[in-house]
């Protein structure tokens, strides 16, 4: 009986997303920051190509290089994901929304479906733009989209962005608000995860963190760039990220179901 109204719920959530200013600026930032800082890094690499050792040349991953800016671009994606869910709580809209759609499962997954789909579209646009611009700048060191595993990595970049956004939505639902969620997620993905992944002592388990594992899908040369090897492949890594995200989203759903609005 409620299944029939699910398109209505999707429609409603789409209206909610497109009618607030934060959607435009977070998603635009995700794209601009990723493409811009990736291009800048590619320009640096291109200029210093001659200084590379043969070993470095061998493990250089031009595809991955054109996605480096995602480290910063993903922060805007996190903010997008958090705000989509969190502003329901901070504005008090949640009570109005749930009075209109009292079935928590329809409300929550309707919202997540629409927001994740939008994040995926923007994520794919970002990764394709970032890739092609990066390859143009890299010149001699570039690869084509038809190269082995390259298309997988570029599509993977979009999937990664969407998954980061979805993960953030789950966290915001667990914390029932925006501020705390942003204060936890940004430092984690910007600093903590990178430190843990960069230090040999902690790398063994840090490779299973959602962003570290998920980012492997953008790698074409195994063990390339950062020189780390993992116990899983690109899809295995993305699978780990999906499991993390599924756990957080489920947690968010249970909080919404059990707690008073």
Partner 1 sequence: MIELEGLTKRFGAKTAVDHLSFQVRPGVVTGFLGPNGAGKSTTMRMMLDLDNPTSGTVRIDGKHYRELPEPLKYIGALLDAKSMHGGRTAYNNLLCLAQSNRIPERRVAEVLDLVGLTAVAKKKSKGFSLGMGQRLGIASALLGDPEILMFDEPVNGLDPEGILWIRNLMKGLASEGRTIFVSSHLMSEMALTAQHLVVIGQGRLLADLSMADFIQQNSRSYVRLRSPQQERLKDVLHEAGISAVSVPATGALEIDGVESERLGELAAQHQIVLHELSPQRASLEEAFMRMTADSVEYHAHAPGAPGAVGSADNPARPADVPAWGAGFEAKRKGGE
**Binding string, residues 57-96; x marks residues near partner 1 by CB under 8 A:** ------------------------------xx--xxx-xx
Query: Which CB, 103 or 152, lies closer to partner 1?
Result: 103
258 binds partner 1 (CB under 8 A): yes
Cα separation, 62 vs 79, whole angstroms: 28
Which token pair is 247? Answer: 């756990």
Q: Tokens 């020189």 — which residue?
A: 227
Stretch that binds partner 1, among 100-108, 205-213, 233-241, 242-250 (CB under 8 A): 100-108
Stretch that binds partner 1, among 18-26, 117-125, 169-177, 186-194 (CB under 8 A): 18-26
Closest by alpha carbon to 20, among 105, 98, 87? 87
12 binds partner 1 (CB under 8 A): yes
Closest by alpha carbon to 74, among 207, 154, 166? 166
Q: Are 157 and 64 in contact (CB under 8 A)?
A: no
Q: Are 62 and 144 in contact (CB under 8 A)?
A: no
Query: Which CB, 57 or 95, lies closer to partner 1?
Result: 95
Q: Are 135 and 65 in contact (CB under 8 A)?
A: no
Q: In angstroms, what is the minimal distance from the CB of 102 to partner 1?
A: 5
Cα separation, 261 vs 258, whole angstroms: 9
15 binds partner 1 (CB under 8 A): yes
Query: Which CB, 100 or 250, lies closer to partner 1?
Result: 100
Q: In angstroms, what is the minimal distance from the CB of 118 to partner 1?
A: 15
Helices (H), the chain: 6-18, 21-47, 54-59, 62-65, 70-91, 93-100, 104-138, 150-175, 179-187, 193-198, 200-206, 210-214, 234-258
Q: By CB under 8 A, name the one of 9, 78, 84, 163 that touches partner 1.
A: 9
Query: Which CB, 20 or 151, lies closer to partner 1?
Result: 20
Residue 252, CB-side half-sphere exposure with 13 Å CA sphere: 29
Q: By CB under 8 A, name the one of 24, 102, 147, 205 that touches partner 1.
A: 102
Binding site for partner 1 (CB under 8 A): 1-2, 4-5, 8-9, 11-13, 15-16, 19-22, 87-88, 91-93, 95-103, 258, 260-261
């Amino acid at each position: 009986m409620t299944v029939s109204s699910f398109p209505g719920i999707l429609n409603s959530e789409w209206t909610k997303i497109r009618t607030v200013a934060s959607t435009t600026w977070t998603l635009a930032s995700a794209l601009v920051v990723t493409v811009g800082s990736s291009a800048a890094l590619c320009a640096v690499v291109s200029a210093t190509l001659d200084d590379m050792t043969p070993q470095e040349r061998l493990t250089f991953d031009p595809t991955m290089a054109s996605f480096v800016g995602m480290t910063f671009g993903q922060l805007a994606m996190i903010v997008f994901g958090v705000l989509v869910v969190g502003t329901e709580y901070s504005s008090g809209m949640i009570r109005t929304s749930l009075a209109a759609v009292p079935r928590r499962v329809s409300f929550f997954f309707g919202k997540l479906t629409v927001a994740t789909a939008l994040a995926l579209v923007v994520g794919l646009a970002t990764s394709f733009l970032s890739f092609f611009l990066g390859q143009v700048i890299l010149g001699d060191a570039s690869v084509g989209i038809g190269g082995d595993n390259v298309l997988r990595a570029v599509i993977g970049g979009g999937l990664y962005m969407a998954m980061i956004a979805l993960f953030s939505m789950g966290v915001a639902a667990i914390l029932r608000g925006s501020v705390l969620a942003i204060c936890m997620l940004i430092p984690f993905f910007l600093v903590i995860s990178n430190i843990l992944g960069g230090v040999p002592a902690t790398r063994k388990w840090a490779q299973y963190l959602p962003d570290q594992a998920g980012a492997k899908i953008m790698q074409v040369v195994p063990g390339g760039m950062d020189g780390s090897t993992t116990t899983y492949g690109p899809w295995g890594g993305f699978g780990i990220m999906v499991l993390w995200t599924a756990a957080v989203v489920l947690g968010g759903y249970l909080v919404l179901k059990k707690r008073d609005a």
